[in-house]
Chains A and B, each alone.
Chain A
Amino acid sequence: MTGLGTLLRKELLEQWRTTRLPVVATVFLLVGLSSPLLARFTPELLKAVAGDQFQITLPSPTVADAYDQLAKNLGQFGALIAVLLAMGAMATEKERGTAALILTKPVSRAAFLVAKLIAIATTLGVSTTIAAAGAWFYTLVLFEPLPVGGFVAAAILRWLALVAYGSITLLGSTLTRSALAAAGLGVAAFIVLGILSIAPSIGRFLPTGLGAPARGLALGQAGVDVLGPTIATVVLIAGLVGVAWLAFRRQEL
């Protein structure tokens, strides 16, 4: 992969200079901080809104509610942001002509593509870490401490799922010259994977299938099946990048 290191450095600098990394990290931090808060105060907010007119009985929020709120928010906002990050990664460079600038240098197309994926994964990784740290701290303050090791492992699985959505969109961005079309593919994949995840036999091998083991790890449950969904998602990401590479190496710029 000729030129990977140099291209990765350029991609990471671009993530910073174009403020993608700071913006995404800030959004994720807000998601991380607000999730335990929402879980803790939602019942009280509902009671206050309803006043004396309705009798609402809600169970007391638990640490599991705090984690579930985080998982839901990261699963939705995070996936959307992964799509936004990847939609223009290849398409915009091809459309603007900057891909031609780079690819007339001694750089392999595989390196060009992989550098993009690593940069997207890095931005998502840094942001997920910040979100997880914020969520863990507020969960500690508002509820009780969650096991650090398990919570870190859960964050890694959540991140892997986001990278999968980014990879699907990156494939779309490679196949077309339109960032919008790539985003369409990413969103469509998000919906289709959500529907398929209902079937347990398929669902556990999809990126959505990482949710259950991540929850078990975060809450310190025993006997969590991590390996199957993790391997399946890694294979999916590798397959998507492989298809994108096969298409990209035959494309004219």
Chain B
Amino acid sequence: MTGAGPTSGQAIEARGLTKRFGSIVALDGLDLDVPRGSIFGLLGPNGAGKTTTIRILTGLARPTAGTASVVGVPVGLDEPELRRRLGYLDQDPRFYSWMKGRELLELVARLHGLSGTELRSRVGKMLAVTGLSGAAERRIGGYSGGMRQRLGIAQALLHDPQILFLDEPVSSLDPEGRRDLLELIAGLRGEATVVFSTHVLSDVERICDRIAIIHRGRRVTEGPLEDLLAAHARPIIRILPAPGQDELVAALVDRLRAAPWTTDVAIAGDVIRVTVSDPETAARGVLSIVAATEVVIDLFERARPTLEDVFLELVGPAAPDELDGRGFVRPREVSDR
């Protein structure tokens, strides 16, 4: 397995990463370039291959095919040099229940070669940053899910890693904890590379410099948020009709759907969401149709496209037959060779 040298501007270079579990294809020739110092969002529906990608890049799993390097070190199952440079938080972090929070962090610090005053100082700092100082002397077995997640963040950041892999890091956090963590990650911009997997689009919009969307094991798109919005998000017009006009609203929706410049008309709650191909023509056309159908409206606006629009445009809502029993997108299957 070969990869970029230590002088490369990329923190991660992956080429053709493929992972099969029997006939199931979890990753299908994934290419990934993550610039050093960036906060990189790895987006995708459940079962898209995000966790598999992170597990390969952290050396917990082996690709069936393809190559990857992380901060210049080729990835591999038994590669301590790779681990020296990375921090990793699992989506469901597990710890030794008999240990105290402080002991766990001290163990991790020692494994990273820290000792003495530096060890105590780093451990104390991370306990404070993650709000666990008060629980440091308690057994981890008694921690809540949110506390375990915060401990996971503390152990991942403890040694100032060059690259940080966070797999669904906010899944168990309350709103305050989530805000704090996102601020913490944003504060690492330029100092460390952060790879952040999630399906919470607003979190990605808030802190990520670059985004890759993965679907069914393949990279669908990748780039800075603004570029993705420009390339993939279609302009949207939102209309909020005044209440009590059901028949008129139905007629309005029908006429909007028939217009040549609409690509989609959806009703979300009370709001009609019109996706259009030509925003200038559409703005005039929508108002004409509203006037013609005599619908009284409370709101008319051209909405700024969001990452959700890009995501839905590229990935789309999964059809029922594409989901498994857990609500995960069913991976592709190939015949065994």
Which residues 66-113 in B have Cβ within 8 Å of A in the complex? 77-78, 80-81, 83-84, 86, 88, 90, 92-96, 98-99, 103, 107-108, 110-113
Residue interface mask B59-71, A partner, CB < 8 A = 1: 1111000000000
Within 8 A of A (CB), among B140-166: 155
Q: Does B58 contact A (CB under 8 A)?
A: yes
A101→B78 CA distance, assembly (Å): 14
Question: Is A105's CB under 8 angstroms from B112's CB?
Answer: yes
A95-124 interface mask toward B, CB cutoff 8 Å, 1 = contact, 0 = none? Answer: 011101111111111000000000000000
Tell me if A144 counts as interface (CB < 8 A to partner B).
no
Q: Residues on B close to A: CB < 8 A?
A: 55, 58-62, 77-78, 80-81, 83-84, 86, 88, 90, 92-96, 98-99, 103, 107-108, 110-113, 155
Contact of A104 among B58, B62, B81, B99 (CB under 8 A): B58
Q: How far is the CB of A205 from chain B (nearest CB, A)?
A: 32
CB distance from B82 to the nearest CB of A (A): 8
Q: Is the CB of B107 within 8 A of A108?
A: no
| Residue-wise interface mask of A (1-22) relative to B, using a CB-CB cutoff of 8 A (1 in contact, 0 not) | 0110011011001100110000
- Min CB gap A85→B, angstroms: 16
**Within residues 1 to 60 of chain A, which ones have a CB less than 8 A from any CB in chain B?**
2-3, 6-7, 9-10, 13-14, 17-18
Closest to B19 in A: A252
Residues of chain B lying within 8 A (CB to CB) of residue A108: 78, 80
List residues of chain B with CB within 8 A of the CB of A17: 98-99
* A3 CA to B112 CA, complexed, in Å: 9
Measured between beta carbons, the chain B residues less than 8 angstroms from A100 are 60, 90, 94
**Which of B61, B90, B98, B112 is in CB contact (< 8 Å) with A101?**
B90
Q: Given A6-B107, A10-B107, A251-B77, are A106 and B113 also a contact pair (CB < 8 Å)?
A: yes
Residues of B within 8 A of A3 (CB): 80, 111
B77 touching A252 by the CB < 8 A rule?
A: yes
Chain A minimum-CB-distance residue to B100: A17
Contact partner, A109, options B78, B92, B103, Cβ 8 Å: B78
B60 touches A103 (CB 8 A): yes
Complex Cα gap A157–B215 (Å):
59
Asked if A253 is an interface residue, CB under 8 A from chain B, the answer is yes
Q: A6-B111, A96-B94, A249-B77 are in contact. List 20 more A-B contacts (CB 8 A).
A: A9-B110, A14-B96, A97-B90, A97-B93, A98-B94, A100-B60, A102-B111, A103-B59, A103-B60, A104-B86, A105-B108, A105-B111, A106-B81, A106-B111, A106-B113, A107-B83, A109-B78, A250-B77, A252-B61, A252-B62
